[in-house]
Amino acid sequence: MLFMLHGCLILLFISGSLAGLNLLSAVANLTSRPLEGITKNNKDFIQIAIENGYNAEKHEVITDDGYILTVYRIPPGSKCTKKTPMLLVHGLLLSAECFVDSGPNAPGFVLAQECYDVWFGNVRGNYHSRRHVTLDPDRDLEFWKFSVDEMGLFDIPAMIDYVLDATNAEKLNYIGHSQGGGSFFMMNSEKPEYADKISLFIGLAPATRQYYTKSVIDRLVANTINSLQATLEASGVWEVASRGLPIQGALEALGRVPLLADTLGNVGLSTVDSPHPGSITSETFRRMFEHVPAGTSIQNLAKYGQAMNELKFLKFNYGSEENLKVYGVSEPPEYDLGKTTMPVVIFHGKSDHIVDTRDMDWVVSQLPNVLEYVTMADPLWNHFDMAFSQYWKKQLYTTMEKYLKKYDNITLIEHR
């Protein structure tokens, strides 16, 4: 979830410990303006797709509140039979590239190999979707006044509608990793009519409440930013972990050496999640260093700090006075997981230190139509394996495939 943010913090703490570097100064370093050109040699989604033998397209989606989102597509080959389109949405501080970074057996390519029309979303605030029809992200705090709540209310519905319109389909299958799953639940709670547009939801460790999160670093970072949100924003710090920060450039350079990439990647993941040696390759780590972190708002990280201190799945807590203005009540309302009525399959790893088993069990108990709750057979399977593991196809897709085939009931809308 916060892989590169944590990695950066760790390096900052180590390098600055003698000078008394503290958490607030570390956050300031992570939220400074990106350096121009530092990522100019990095390959983007389309270049990676072409490198792996696939055509790819770039699309622009505008939300009802004016955010301009970039959505990528790998269309089915000319010899493919039409299937239900797929929409994949990434986790916190990630981007669409997370589904293709691990090479030929990456989730996006596995689905493309199976002739699915695969779409890849980028939520507001990451480097692909850092635009608005009127607001300037470099000048307007209002651009950054969002959390995962707004992603669920605006971004996910906008992307779903766009994909259905572009493919002339009545329904799509949705795959959400971590934040991409949590925002989907939020959408269903706020806009239950969207359940009719989804054939199947597949959650890869979807993040809702995170009361039992084991990661000490996750808790430290999210809780600290939650407590400092007003101070940071008043100081002009609105964005966090932007792509192109100096620390990312250093990691990219080190990551070009395979042994160093493997070491840096495994140390970073072991610090924030649980270790799973060999699951993510050094080449995948190198790609991750090019695309992670993808950026988000201070308010979004504050929301995760709140989620780690609640046993319910709640909306953003603005404080009693502001909650009254926004919600009409002094406490933030609870999202209704019971409104996620379409067929659901959930995957979870025993060694996931971001979305703990107890939190995942609770979510599943609230959902009305769970076809299967899959605990990964590999006891070391962690949170990041859900997107980046070299074993994704063998260990996860083999189970997923039977449900995708069962719910591949493509219906086209005539003369839309």
Residue ranges covered by each domain of the chain: 3-406
Among residues 101, 262, 383, 389, the one annotated as catalytic is 383
For residue 211, give the nearest of 115, 143, 137, 313 by alpha carbon.
313
Work out the average pLDDT over 293-299.
Answer: 94
102 has catalytic annotation = no
Q: Quick one: pLDDT band at residue 269, thresholds 50, 70, 90?
A: confident
Q: Quick one: pLDDT band at residue 333, thresholds 50, 70, 90?
A: very high
352 has catalytic annotation = yes
Higher-pLDDT residue of 7 and 126 is: 126
178 has catalytic annotation = yes
Work out the average pLDDT over 1-20.
Answer: 36
Q: Quick one: pLDDT band at residue 414, thresholds 50, 70, 90?
A: very low
Q: Quick one: pLDDT band at residue 208, thresholds 50, 70, 90?
A: very high
Q: What is the pLDDT of residue 42?
A: 75
Higher-pLDDT residue of 73 and 244 is: 73
Q: Name the average pLDDT for the chain.
A: 88
Query: Is the predicted pLDDT of residue 13 greater than 70, yes or no?
Result: no
Higher-pLDDT residue of 3 and 97 is: 97
The model's pTM: 0.90
Q: What is the pLDDT of residue 411?
A: 62
Q: What is the pLDDT of residue 12?
A: 34
Among residues 44, 117, 262, 352, the one annotated as catalytic is 352
Q: What is the pLDDT of residue 78?
A: 85
What is the percent of the chain with per-residue pLDDT over 70, rounded to a whole number? Answer: 83
Q: What is the pLDDT of residue 256?
A: 66
Q: What is the pLDDT of residue 24?
A: 38
Q: Quick one: pLDDT band at residue 272, thresholds 50, 70, 90?
A: confident
Q: What is the pLDDT of residue 356?
A: 97
Q: Quick one: pLDDT band at residue 56, thresholds 50, 70, 90?
A: very high
Higher-pLDDT residue of 108 and 243 is: 108
Work out the average pLDDT over 125-150.
Answer: 97
**Window from 7-21, 82-96, 111-125 with minimum mean pLDDT:** 7-21
Query: Is the predicted pLDDT of residue 194 greater than 90, yes or no?
Result: yes
Query: Is the predicted pLDDT of residue 37 greater than 50, yes or no?
Result: no
Q: Quick one: pLDDT band at residue 94, thresholds 50, 70, 90?
A: very high
Spatial separation of the C-alpha atoms in residues 59 and 42, rounded to whole Å = 20
Phi, psi of 62 (to 5 degrees): -110, 125
CATH class in words for 3-406: alpha beta
Spatial separation of the C-alpha atoms in residues 109 and 126, rounded to whole Å = 22
Higher-pLDDT residue of 115 and 264 is: 115
Work out the average pLDDT over 192-211.
Answer: 98
Q: What is the pLDDT of residue 267?
A: 74
Q: What is the pLDDT of residue 260?
A: 67
Q: Measured between alpha carbons, how far is residue 272 from residues 10, 299, 354 in Å?
A: 10, 21, 8
* Token pair belonging to 124: 């507001």
Among residues 95, 129, 178, 274, the one annotated as catalytic is 178
Query: Is the predicted pLDDT of residue 268 greater than 50, yes or no?
Result: yes
Buried b (16+ CB within 10 A) or exposed e, 175-194: bbbbbbbbbbbbbbbbbeeb
Query: Is the predicted pLDDT of residue 213 greater than 50, yes or no?
Result: yes
Higher-pLDDT residue of 400 and 245 is: 400
